[in-house]
Amino acid sequence: MPRLLCLALFAFSLTANAQPLPDSFLDGLEFREIGPATMSGRVVDLAVQVDDPYTFYVASATGGVWKTTNNGVTFEAQFQNEAVHSIGDIALHAIADSILWVGTGERANRQSSSWGNGVYRSTDGGKTFTHLGLDETRHVGRIALHPSDPDVAWVAGMGHLWGPNPERGLYKTSDGGATWERLLFVDDETGVVDVAVDHTNPDILYAATYQRQRRAYGFHGGGPGSGLHKSTDGGRTWREMRNGLPEGDFGRIGIALWEADPSVITISVEQGWQYNASTAYGERRAGVYRSEDRGETWTFMSDWNPRPMYASQPYMDPSDDQRIYMQNSFSWSDDGGRTFTRARQSLHGDDRIVWVNPADSRHVIKGDDGGIGISYDRALTWLYVTSLPIAQFYRVDVDMRDPYWVYGGLQDNGSWAGPSETYRNRGILNEDWIKTGGGDGFVNHVSRSDPDRLYTESQYLGLSMLDLGTGERRSIRPGDPQGRIGPRRNWTSWGPGVPEPELGNAMAPANWDGPFVLSAHHPETIYAATNIFWRSRDGGDTWEALGDLTTGTDRRYMTIMGQVPHDSTLSLDDGIPYWPTIASIAESPLDADFLLAGTDDGLLHVSHDAGATWTDVTERLPGAPDDLWVAGIEASRHAAGTAYVVVNNYRNDDYGNYLYVTDDAGETWRSITTGLPHGRVLRTLREDPREPNALYLGAEIGLFVSVDRGETWTEWTANLPTAAVNDLVVHPRDNDLVLGTHGRGIWILDDLGPIQAAARGDASPLFEPPTARMIRYRSERGHAGDMIFYGQNPARGALITYQLARGVSASDVALDILGLDGSHVRSLRVDTSAGMHRTTWNFRHEDLAPAPADTTGGRAGRTGFAPSGPMALPGQYRVRLTLAGEVFEQPLTVMEDPRLEVDPAVRSDWTETQFAIGDLWNTVARDAEFVVHTEAYLSSLGDAVRASSERSEIAELSRKYQELMSRVRSLYGQVGGWTGPMTADQESMFAYYSEMLGRLAEQAGMMRTRWLPRVNRGLPRAMRLQVP
């Protein structure tokens, strides 16, 4: 038979030059989410339903919007497939509580902050969203709603974080977002970070303008554009409020109106001298202020305002104007802001949002960098929500245990490790994860020579070696022979007169995400980078410097918003205490002498002599921007001179795509960005370890795949939410793709075989399945409630992947499992629609005969439960796909559960025993079918059937058959639950049930020949039963 047209079309799509994968190919390749939710991620806002505080929405910095209707026991993802994932603020209308507004792009101003594309609105409680524009505001500080008109809203647009732009300021809509009017604008470097509306008179508005800008080399968080403004005419005119506030430039300002009396206002004002990222300011010159006359005059209360750039924001208890909650470090005041108490923290200490129940001040919900906390005693003790999977991974790696574990570092939640699979029915639990490091977690690599040795790091290359067995830890950070100085200070940023360390050198400068790699050639060799490229040949005991590969530029003379830094620069370089540094490094797996290093100040170097000398190849990157940031380097596993370099430039407010490859060890480079949509910002690339044509690319927004070495790219969405794919890795043994997302935890695609087949140009509609294991899953937990996140295990059984170029009829397609000798084992259900499909074989032979319906739950002619067939033997099988008569086959290897130690002969006997009991069941079920259905039919006739001894005999026989089926089914289940011979009692059961079957068969014969004919004589002809 000629090859089907659908197959020919598919073959062309893969073999034609520079053809991206069709969407239908990728849609069926779905990822599984494994969490974790034990540490969650940064929560930036809450929107609580006023009349039902158990229903509330959670805004994640980089994980979308989530909704609970049961006070946080469970959550449902709401804002998951929109164009962006980062949220700045959400607002729920008090009257029309099905209307939810979402402002995208977080307001935290971090070096790791993501961006948005304006405002969205839902009118159905978050089920669907409409994009309302304001795209270039990029970061939304606040959304305020009209107290009575759900179509009126005000949006505080902060504008681009990484550069100037005019689309910023305070915007208003009066028609539900169809049109917008800008009410307040200062300049291209100043946006609006906060807005508040007097609910007793919505013409009275307060707005906080904020001048700030971040660059790769630093941050300035204030200026003359920052200020507090008030309007009494709905925003048509404004005046700046200064009476009682300090002179000079402001940084970030937060506004809180007291709900009971909006003439009472609390604000936080950033102003200070000699900024330090750890202690905020050497001297705070502003802080918390209070007004009792709608902002006309202000009283200084205290200078408490920790790290204002991040989350400077007061919150007032709706029932008590003296209780003030303050962010960033969770604290409260009971005297209107004069003094603050830092709370005992059983949760994360870096807080972003607090909500207090207007009807009960004891009920408090807070969002922080670790998730959600709920209190019922006014913030003294907390319930931590453990069901919200919004972990923010920076880096991810895997080990070689079986099942393999996943390792990764998270934003302000340390480093963690957990299994990719458990042998538990419900999947992967939070308690399966272990913490491996503190601070902000980044790169984690398991030693190539010792599986219990983990190299892990915190921010700024806080490198250590952890013994996974004992928990002992050894610091091995290079470049600190005189130790480290206490808090990390901005030594290179402060001006004249700043004290220098007196007892040793300062901490060696390193990138926030300091790179290190383990050598593929020497198990004890480690490469790491600060501003210097380092090598250790003894597992971190000693280090040798291979050169400073940065420009060495002194950023103290570099401007941001036209200003060089000085002692009073607000939030100076927050989050970037060190620059310039090396941001990415790599060693060729095929050539130990070939090293690569990229910096955060625009340089790319290669070495061909193991770091003895370096060549600057930056100018060889075609179209590369000035001052680029090298985000990732991937040296090929297939060709010694091939390497890929991922560049991004968003820190210069450029959101283009920059991706390069060299095939001659850095002599020449070419761009490979065809098919990548603008604005995604590339983060990381991995080459497939089995197929060199297959590449996987993680971006700030999305995942991409190429099967032609980057000539073309296809976005891989499948079931993935919109997410930042900060890192990814292909497991070399299991062939899985593991994604580390910054906001949605870890996702795994089991078996990359179809992608690899496409990279080879293999057009078969049936893909070779991975080796399958006959895992015995179990239940290990008792009653644990519902606040549990279950990470997904791999699909149970043998994973089988096939694709159909177009839909076919069920009669034209079949999918079967065969023995090597061609014997039939199992037929599988087939999805006949067009596209890629995955199914599983559960290692069972065909199901046993179905049980007949009993007299209590069914009616005549309806069949019941069919037990699964006997468990197949481990070994070699064939998967056969038949399409309109054309046959495609692939080999399948099935292995026993690796935990099970059983003699092959015993294992074979066990399967044969299942067949024997299964045959007994089939016989019982077939014999019982007529008896049970007859009894059910006679019972349905009611009084039409005269009582008789024969009628009673039939009823009793039906009950006996059903009892025997129950007993045989129980025996079948018992034997199937233990891989081994039957017990003596089980052997006795089998013999006894076989004997009972013979006796019942005799009575069934009597029913046919004697009892039914007598019953039929008493029935009208139309009601009589046919006797087989």
Omega of the bond prior to 403 within 30 degrees of 0, cis?
Answer: yes
Q: What is the pLDDT of residues 297-345, one digit of tens each?
A: 999 999 999 899 998 899 999 999 999 999 888 899 999 999 999 877 7
The answer to whether residue 694 sits within a structural domain is: no
Same domain, 553 and 476: yes
| Residue keyed to tokens 């060199």 | 692
What type of residue sits at position 387? S
The answer to whether residue 90 sits within a structural domain is: yes
Residue ranges of alpha helices (H) inside 677-744 are: none
- Residue 904 in 3-state DSSP? helix
C-beta of residue 295 within 8 angstroms of C-beta of residue 241: yes
- Residue 81 in 3-state DSSP? coil
The answer to whether residue 612 sits within a structural domain is: no
Same domain, 164 and 44: yes
Strand order in the sheet with 658-662: 629-635, 643-648, 658-662, 670-671
Residue 996 reports pLDDT greater than 70: yes
**Tokens standing for residue 256:** 């809180």
Q: Which residues contact 413 (CB under 8 A, 6 or more apart)?
A: 39, 40, 41, 348, 369, 370, 391, 392, 440, 441
pLDDT value of position 810: 87
Q: What angle do CA 894, 990, 982 make, to 5 degrees?
A: 50
- Give the Cα separation of 1013 and 1024 in Å (integer): 9
Which residues in 426-457 are b (16+ Cβ under 10 Å) and which e?
A: bbbbbebbeebbebbbbbbbbbbeeeebbbbb
Residue 328 CA from chain centroid, whole number:
25
DSSP secondary structure string for all residues of 919-982: HHHHHHHHHHHHHHHHHHHHHHHGGGSPP-HHHHHHHHHHHHHHHHHHHHHHHHHHHHTSSSPP
- Give the Cα separation of 285 and 288 in Å (integer): 10
- Give the Cα separation of 993 and 924 in Å (integer): 10
The answer to whether residue 344 sits within a structural domain is: yes
Residue 911 reports pLDDT greater than 90: yes
Same domain, 869 and 979: yes
Kindly state the average pLDDT of the residues 602-630.
Answer: 98
**Tokens standing for residue 46:** 């809450």
Burial of 806: CB neighbours in 10 Å, binned 0-12, 13-18, 19+: middle
Same domain, 811 and 897: yes
The answer to whether residue 34 sits within a structural domain is: no
The answer to whether residue 640 sits within a structural domain is: no
- Using alpha carbons, select from 524, 487, 533, 525 the residue that is nearest to residue 507: 487
Same domain, 941 and 1011: yes
The answer to whether residue 713 sits within a structural domain is: no
Share of the chain above pLDDT 90, in %: 83
- How many C-beta atoms lie closer than 10 Å to residue 504's C-beta? 12
Residue 625 CA from chain centroid, whole number:
31
Question: Which of 331, 363, 384 is the endpoint of a domain?
Answer: 384
**Tokens standing for residue 242:** 């200064």
- Give the Cα separation of 664 and 572 in Å (integer): 42
Q: How many helices (H) and strands (E) does the chain have?
A: 8, 67
Strand order in the sheet with 604-607: 582-587, 595-599, 604-607, 615-616
Q: Which domain holds residue 978?
A: 798-1023
Greater model confidence, 20 or 948: 20
Residue 2 reports pLDDT greater than 50: no
Same domain, 917 and 831: yes
DSSP state for residue 757 in the 8-state scheme: H
Q: What is the pLDDT of residues 212-241, one digit of tens each?
A: 999 999 999 999 999 999 999 999 999 999
Same domain, 73 and 220: yes
- How many C-beta atoms lie closer than 10 Å to residue 401's C-beta? 11
Same domain, 457 and 331: no
- Give the Cα separation of 57 and 45 in Å (integer): 8
Residue 860 reports pLDDT greater than 60: no
C-beta of residue 769 within 8 angstroms of C-beta of residue 892: yes
Q: What is the three-state SS of 483-527?
A: CCCCCCCCCCCCCCCCCCCCCCCCCCCCCCCCCEEECCCCCCCEE
pLDDT value of position 858: 37
pLDDT value of position 730: 99
C-beta of residue 430 within 8 angstroms of C-beta of residue 38: yes
| φ/ψ of residue 982, rounded to 5 | -70, 155
Which H or E element spans position 916? helix 904-941
| φ/ψ of residue 797, rounded to 5 | 100, -170
Least confident span in 28-37, 505-514, 842-851, 984-993: 505-514
Q: What is the pLDDT of residues 79-93, one digit of tens each?
A: 999 999 999 999 999
Kindly state the average pLDDT of the residues 714-735.
Answer: 98
Same domain, 295 and 370: yes
Q: What is the pLDDT of residues 667-695, one digit of tens each?
A: 999 999 999 999 999 999 999 999 999 99
**Tokens standing for residue 221:** 């968080």
C-beta of residue 765 within 8 angstroms of C-beta of residue 757: no
The dihedral over CA atoms of 75, 81, 84, 85, expressed in degrees to the nearest 10, equals: 20
Kindly state the average pLDDT of the residues 245-264.
Answer: 97
- Give the Cα separation of 666 and 596 in Å (integer): 9
Kindly state the average pLDDT of the residues 751-773.
Answer: 97
pLDDT value of position 504: 54
Same domain, 355 and 443: no
| Biggest alpha carbon–alpha carbon distance for the chain | 116
Same domain, 306 and 424: no
Q: What is the mean pLDDT of the chain?
A: 93
Extended beta strands in 399-442, E state: 405-410, 414-419, 434-437
Q: If pLDDT is split at 50, 70 and 90, which confidence band does 862 have?
A: very low
What type of residue sits at position 28? G
Q: If pLDDT is split at 50, 70 and 90, which confidence band does 208 have?
A: very high
Question: Which of 384, 416, 439 is the endpoint of a domain?
Answer: 384
**Tokens standing for residue 896:** 């026993």
CATH number at residue 538: 2.130.10.10
Same domain, 265 and 166: yes
What type of residue sits at position 491? W
Rg (CA), the chain: 34
- Give the Cα separation of 52 and 92 in Å (integer): 12
Strand pairing report for 813-819 and 745-749: unpaired
- Residue 695 in 3-state DSSP? strand
Question: Which of 525, 546, 564 is the endpoint of a domain?
Answer: 564
For the chain, the domain total comes to 3
pLDDT value of position 857: 39
Q: If pLDDT is split at 50, 70 and 90, which confidence band does 854 have?
A: low
Q: If pLDDT is split at 50, 70 and 90, which confidence band does 6 have?
A: very low
Burial of 550: CB neighbours in 10 Å, binned 0-12, 13-18, 19+: buried
Supply the pTM of this predicted model: 0.95
- Using alpha carbons, select from 236, 227, 156 the residue that is nearest to residue 204: 236
The answer to whether residue 265 sits within a structural domain is: yes
Q: Which residues contact 502 (CB under 8 A, 6 or more apart)?
A: none
